[in-house]
């Protein structure tokens, strides 16, 4: 995920720095959720990263309008939503595929409903990762930690890029099934 | 309602491609369609997105890339292939079951049992049993159990008849290596990986995974980027797709031919006697064969021998009427015509100014070719088609499209059946012709009538057809009745006593002159046809009025 980059050149007064600290303290716990929301609507890491960056910039620009005490996450998601719409308008002009507004709204609703149940996902994921086969763990590590591109991995191992993608997909499916299994006893309690 | 496993797989496959910015427009459209459809799909998708994000953000233990790359169990090519094949049957991650603590209800004291002395035989039996159990346990532990899953679907059937079960369009096929035999017609199978194969009967196949099949017969495969690596295993070799469209003809006796239309493939010998041969990359426009007899050889790419695209409504109509021969005049060179149904090359020969001319024709939704005859005295196109001889003249239907360019006094001859010496001046029957005022006519010569009279049957349409416009002509006879149709409508009908004369080993002659001279060099009964001929079909039965109307309408309306 992208880090937070504030435009210090524009905001160098002491009061702005204080506001910046306030902003960061509220943003930090929400940033991951905002990114999840963006990634749900724009399922492409590089594009979602750009939109997150723009969202944070815009949130920072508009931070004076934000009323402390109201829902910061909802405010951030709303700003992200407009940037997502802008992104898809651009895609449409380029004749590239786009999610339509109706689907974005549906996804937004599902995202809202799923939000609470996703709190512990990271912990479950860590647990499930340990249960993966060694070679599966290594593939994920090479791809996401070492940041080797799929093409690069395919070239090194003499297989097609498609094999890499399909294996990544397979591992994702295993992990998600594992997370859901771990979550199911908790569900039953409620 | 819980989401089907296949849908989950599709969502994840498409999401991974999308996240990596590797999805095509079609991939994204498919993902959008799935998400639009159901709430459950969107829930799963959102969880998958969050999981992908979390994997990216997780704190990984530090291990150098070099260590990973060099470690002994790192994935190699073979392992990746195994992964791809096992993908859909991979077991889920094991979750330890909750240990249930059993509460002791009551402490029970059991009386001490008397010790029995074991005989040597008993001890030996016990040891043997233990060893057997150990072997069985090892087998179960070490030999992976394969769970079959559905990995492909029959997505189209055109006049298709399967041997094993009554399959329908939409039937799912499992990777359980069951043999499926297509006895008749054409079937399209779409694998979950996205690869599509169009199979022409007779053929047999076994589904091995969502990216592989064992095959004997004739097929064309279209492999999208999402399914690169799709493999067709044959008795002698395997054909590994490297992003392409290719045709395969495979049999135990003749080996495996691969003709590549687009992209490239890798052709790898697999039978014991051929394993020593090197693998072979075949690119677009090239073809290769691997056989026990010749080993690995390069052959001429014959694209026209395959059915590449799913049939149009017109083609489906043709399949449903089951012709014995179908001349499309779309591919190949002047001297070769191809049968679109069983794709057997038919001997043919042209004389004079005859060519396959480009232009919009009646049969397809795109530009294609038709047979063009200049109409000079030497123009003619002969076809020797043994499939027609099976009719013995008892019943026959001819359907074809013509586009005349000129009205010719004395008439012009479109099609005629002649003898093995091609003596069209003396021996001809089953003649379709245009009169001097462009009425469509049909003539045949009966073997011999009972009273030795009325040897000729001749009829004409009651309208004349336009110049430079495509016109559908059909003639159908059997059971003593002969009918002539123009543009799907019945125009003339007659009865006959005996079947028309059919010359053994004869030829169909397109557009040639017929008849005999009576002193003047150009005094032929019918002069050569000037114009185009296309979509010529022969049937060994008398088609009904409805069937002929359908052949006409499907071509004109170009319904899908």
From CA A61, how far away is CA A6, in angstroms rounded? 10
Interchain pair B17, A165: CB under 8 A: yes
Angle, CA of B488, B343 and B259, to the nearest 5°: 130
The pLDDT, as a whole number, for residue B82 is 46
Average pLDDT over every residue of B448-475: 80
**Rounded to whole angstroms, what are the CA distances from B252 to A177, B221, B291, B412?**
44, 20, 9, 49
Average pLDDT over every residue of B78-100: 41
The pLDDT, as a whole number, for residue A84 is 93
The packing angle between helices B39-57 and B5-19, to 10°, is 50
Tell me whether A89 touches chain B (CB under 8 Å). no
Lowest average pLDDT, out of A150-164, B153-167, B332-346, goes to: B332-346
DSSP B519: S
Q: Is the confidence at residue B118, as pLDDT, over 70? A: no
pLDDT tens, residue by residue, B119-138: 666 667 777 777 766 766 66
DSSP B465: P
**Rounded to whole angstroms, what are the CA distances from A94 to B14, B33, B463?**
21, 21, 54
Give the mutation candidate from B14, B75, B86, B97 for the A interface (greatest A CB count, under 10 A).
B75
* Chain B partners within 8 Å of A111 (Cβ): 46
Q: Which of B347, B440, B353 is nearest to B399 (CA)?
A: B440
**Rounded to whole angstroms, what are the CA distances from A126 to A131, A146, B76, B98, B529?**
9, 18, 26, 19, 80
Q: Is the confidence at residue A83, as pLDDT, over 60? A: yes
The pLDDT, as a whole number, for residue B81 is 45
| Higher-confidence position of B266 and B388 | B266
Average pLDDT over every residue of B387-397: 68
Interchain pair B93, A128: CB under 8 A: yes
pLDDT band of B386, cuts 50, 70, 90: low
- Selecting from B68, B84, B242 the residue whose C-beta is nearest the C-beta of A166 gives B84
pLDDT band of A187, cuts 50, 70, 90: very low
Beta bridge partners of B239: B232, B267
The number of angstroms, rounded, from the C-alpha of B380 to the middle of its chain's C-alpha atoms is 32
The pLDDT, as a whole number, for residue B87 is 45
pLDDT band of B147, cuts 50, 70, 90: low
Residue length, chain A?
A: 190
The listed range with the strongest mean pLDDT (A155-159, A163-167, B78-82, B93-97) is A163-167
* Residue partners of A15: CB distance under 8 A and separation at least 6: none
Tokens found for residue B230: 């799709």
* Token pair 């509460």: residue: B103
From CA B282, how far away is CA B259, in angstroms rounded? 8
From CA B543, how far away is CA A59, in angstroms rounded? 74
Tokens found for residue A148: 């080797």
Pairing of strands B172-174, B179-191: unpaired
Interchain pair B228, A182: CB under 8 A: no
From CA B271, how far away is CA B529, in angstroms rounded? 54
From CA B22, how far away is CA B42, in angstroms rounded? 21
Return the number of CB contacts < 8 Å for A and B: 191
Interchain pair B50, A118: CB under 8 A: yes
Tell me whether A125 touches chain B (CB under 8 Å). yes
| Higher-confidence position of B342 and A117 | A117
Tell me whether A35 touches chain B (CB under 8 Å). yes
The number of angstroms, rounded, from the C-alpha of B207 to the middle of its chain's C-alpha atoms is 16
Shortest CA distance from A138: residue in chain B: B68
The pLDDT, as a whole number, for residue B116 is 55
* Token pair 């929400």: residue: A30
| Higher-confidence position of B370 and B213 | B213
| Higher-confidence position of B86 and B238 | B238
Average pLDDT over every residue of B437-460: 74
Interchain pair A43, B18: CB under 8 A: yes
Residue A180, number of CB atoms within 10 A of its CB:
17
Interchain pair A39, B52: CB under 8 A: yes
Element (H, E) at A80: helix A72-93
Q: Count of alpha carbons within 13 Å of B56, Cβ hemisphere only?
A: 21
Element (H, E) at B6: helix B5-19
The pLDDT, as a whole number, for residue B135 is 66
Interchain pair B57, A106: CB under 8 A: no
Calculate the dihedral angle through the C-alpha atoms of B158, B164, B165, B168, rounding to the nearest 10 degrees: -20
pLDDT tens, residue by residue, B253-285: 888 999 999 999 999 998 877 777 777 889 998
- Contact present, B93 and A132 (Cβ < 8 Å): yes
From CA B396, how far away is CA B386, in angstroms rounded? 14
Average pLDDT value over all residues in chain B: 76
The listed range with the strongest mean pLDDT (A115-129, B165-179, B225-239) is B225-239
Task: ipTM value, please give it.
Answer: 0.88
From CA B541, how far away is CA B474, in angstroms rounded? 13
With a threshold of 0.90, does the pTM exceed it? no
- Selecting from A140, A161, A178 the residue whose C-beta is nearest the C-beta of B55 gives A140
Q: What percent of chain B has pLDDT over 70?
A: 71
Interchain pair A43, B19: CB under 8 A: yes
Pairing of strands B527-528, B412-418: parallel
Interchain pair B57, A99: CB under 8 A: no
pLDDT band of B56, cuts 50, 70, 90: confident
Residue A131, number of CB atoms within 10 A of its CB:
16
The pLDDT, as a whole number, for residue B279 is 78
Average pLDDT over every residue of B459-479: 92
Scanning B322-448, the segments in alpha helix (DSSP H) are 386-389
* Chain A partners within 8 Å of B87 (Cβ): 166-167, 170
Q: Which of B144, B8, B211 is nearest to A159 (CA)?
A: B211
Q: What percent of chain B has pLDDT over 90?
A: 25
Lowest average pLDDT, out of A153-157, B164-168, B321-325, goes to: B164-168
* Residue partners of B558: CB distance under 8 A and separation at least 6: B312, B313, B314, B365
pLDDT band of B165, cuts 50, 70, 90: low
| Higher-confidence position of A42 and B91 | A42
- Contact present, B259 and B305 (Cβ < 8 Å): yes
* Chain B partners within 8 Å of A107 (Cβ): 35, 42, 45-46
Q: Which of B383, B414, B419, B389 is nearest to B324 (CA)?
A: B389
pLDDT tens, residue by residue, B405-427: 999 888 899 998 887 777 777 77
* Chain A partners within 8 Å of B47 (Cβ): 114, 118, 121, 176, 179-180
The pLDDT, as a whole number, for residue B432 is 94
Tokens found for residue B98: 């909750």
Tell me whether A158 touches chain B (CB under 8 Å). yes
Lowest average pLDDT, out of B189-193, B281-285, B512-516, goes to: B512-516
Calculate the dihedral angle through the C-alpha atoms of B63, B64, B69, B71, rounding to the nearest 10 degrees: -50
Closest Cα in chain A, distance from residue B89 (Å): 10
| Higher-confidence position of A52 and B116 | A52
**Rounded to whole angstroms, what are the CA distances from B352 to A159, B95, B524?**
55, 79, 17
Residue length, chain B?
A: 560
The listed range with the strongest mean pLDDT (A48-57, A97-106, A130-139, B278-287) is A48-57
The pLDDT, as a whole number, for residue B388 is 63
Q: Which of A151, A31, A62, A176 is nearest to B50 (CA)?
A: A176
| Higher-confidence position of A74 and B61 | A74
pLDDT band of B75, cuts 50, 70, 90: very low
Give the mutation candidate from A176, A179, A180, A182 for the B interface (greatest B CB count, under 10 A).
A176
From CA B424, how far away is CA B318, in angstroms rounded? 30
Q: Is the confidence at residue A184, as pLDDT, over 60? A: yes
Tell me whether A168 touches chain B (CB under 8 Å). yes
**CB neighbour class for B259 (10 Å; exposed up to 12, middle 13-18, buried from 19):** buried
From CA B314, how far away is CA B317, in angstroms rounded? 5
Q: Which of B260, B262, B226, B289 is nearest to B87 (CA)?
A: B226
Shortest CA distance from A36: residue in chain B: B50
Element (H, E) at B481: strand B481-486
pLDDT tens, residue by residue, B451-462: 555 467 889 998
Average pLDDT value over all residues in chain A: 81
Tell me whether A148 touches chain B (CB under 8 Å). yes
Residue B30 phi/psi, 5° resolution? -65, -45
Give the mutation candidate from A125, A163, A174 for the B interface (greatest B CB count, under 10 A).
A163
- Contact present, B435 and B412 (Cβ < 8 Å): no
Q: Is the confidence at residue B301, as pLDDT, over 70? A: yes
Tell me whether A136 touches chain B (CB under 8 Å). no
């Amino acid at each position: 995920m992208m880090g937070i980059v504030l435009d210090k050149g524009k905001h160098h007064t002491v009061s702005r720095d204080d506001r910046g600290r306030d902003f960061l303290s509220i943003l930090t716990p929400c940033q991951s959720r905002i990114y999840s929301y963006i990634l749900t609507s724009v399922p492409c890491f590089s594009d979602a990263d750009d939109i997150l960056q723009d969202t944070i910039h815009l949130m920072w620009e508009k931070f004076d309008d934000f009323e402390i005490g109201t829902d910061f996450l909802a405010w951030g998601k709303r700003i992200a939503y407009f940037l997502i719409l802008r992104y898809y308008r651009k895609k449409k002009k380029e004749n590239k595929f786009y999610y339509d507004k109706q689907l974005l709204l549906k996804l937004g609703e599902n995202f809202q409903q799923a939000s609470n149940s996703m709190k512990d996902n990271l912990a479950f994921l860590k647990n499930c990762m340990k249960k993966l086969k060694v070679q599966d763990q290594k593939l994920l590590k090479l791809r996401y930690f070492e940041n080797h591109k799929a093409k690069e991995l395919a070239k090194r191992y003499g297989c097609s890029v498609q094999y890499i993608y399909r294996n990544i997909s397979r591992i994702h499916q295993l992990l998600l099934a594992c997370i859901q299994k771990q979550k199911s006893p908790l569900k039953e309690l409620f | 309602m819980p989401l089907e496993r296949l849908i989950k797989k599709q969502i994840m496959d498409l999401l991974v491609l999308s996240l990596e910015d590797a999805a095509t427009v079609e991939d994204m459209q498919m993902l959008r369609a799935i998400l639009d459809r159901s709430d459950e799909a969107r829930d799963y998708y959102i969880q998958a997105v969050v999981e992908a994000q979390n994997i990216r953000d997780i704190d990984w233990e530090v291990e150098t890339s070099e260590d990973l790359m060099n470690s002994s169990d790192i994935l190699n090519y073979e392992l990746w292939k195994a992964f791809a094949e096992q993908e859909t049957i991979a077991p889920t991650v094991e979750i330890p079951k909750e240990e249930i603590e059993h509460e002791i209800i009551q402490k029970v004291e059991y009386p001490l049992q008397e010790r029995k002395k074991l005989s040597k035989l008993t001890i030996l039996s016990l040891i043997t049993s233990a060893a057997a159990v150990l072997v069985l346990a090892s087998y179960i532990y070490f030999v992976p159990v394969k769970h079959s899953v559905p990995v492909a679907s029959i997505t189209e059937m055109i006049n298709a008849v399967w041997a094993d079960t009554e399959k329908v369009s939409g039937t799912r096929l499992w990777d359980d290596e069951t043999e499926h035999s297509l006895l008749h017609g054409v079937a399209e199978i779409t694998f979950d990986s996205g690869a599509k194969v169009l199979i022409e009967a007779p053929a047999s196949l076994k589904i091995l995974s969502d990216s592989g099949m064992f095959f004997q017969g004739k097929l064309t495969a279209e492999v999208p980027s999402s399914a690169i690596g799709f493999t067709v295993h044959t008795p002698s070799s395997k054909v590994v797709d490297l992003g392409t469209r290719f045709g395969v003809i495979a049999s135990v006796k003749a080996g495996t031919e691969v003709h590549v239309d687009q992209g490239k493939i890798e052709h790898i010998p697999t039978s014991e006697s051929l394993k020593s041969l090197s693998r072979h990359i075949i690119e677009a426009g090239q073809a290769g064969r691997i056989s026990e007899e010749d080993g690995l050889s390069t052959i001429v790419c014959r694209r026209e021998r395959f059915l590449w695209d799913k049939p149009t409504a017109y083609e489906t109509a043709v399949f449903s009427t089951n012709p014995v021969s179908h001349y499309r005049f779309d591919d190949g060179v002047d001297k070769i015509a191809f049968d679109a149904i069983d794709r057997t090359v038919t001997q043919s020969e042209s004389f004079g100014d005859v060519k396959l001319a480009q232009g919009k024709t009646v049969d397809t939704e795109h530009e294609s070719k038709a047979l063009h005859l200049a109409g000079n005295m030497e123009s003619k196109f002969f076809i020797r088609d043994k499939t027609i001889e099976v009719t013995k003249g008892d019943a026959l239907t001819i359907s074809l499209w013509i586009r005349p360019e000129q009205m010719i006094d004395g008439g012009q001859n479109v099609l005629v059946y002649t003898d093995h010496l091609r003596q069209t001046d003396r021996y001809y029957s089953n003649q379709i012709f245009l009169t001097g005022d462009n009425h469509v006519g049909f003539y045949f010569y009966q073997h011999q009538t009972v009273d030795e009279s009325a040897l000729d049957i001749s009829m004409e349409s009651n309208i004349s057809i336009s110049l430079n416009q495509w016109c559908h002509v059909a003639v159908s006879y059997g059971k003593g009745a002969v009918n002539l149709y123009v543009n799907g409508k019945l125009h003339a009908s007659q009865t006959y006593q005996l079947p028309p004369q059919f010359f053994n080993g004869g030829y169909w002659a397109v557009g040639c002159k017929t008849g005999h001279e009576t002193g003047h060099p150009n005094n032929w009964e019918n002069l050569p046809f000037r114009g185009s001929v296309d979509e010529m079909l022969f049937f060994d039965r008398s088609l009904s009025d409805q069937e002929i109307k359908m052949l006409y309408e499907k071509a004109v309306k170009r319904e899908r």
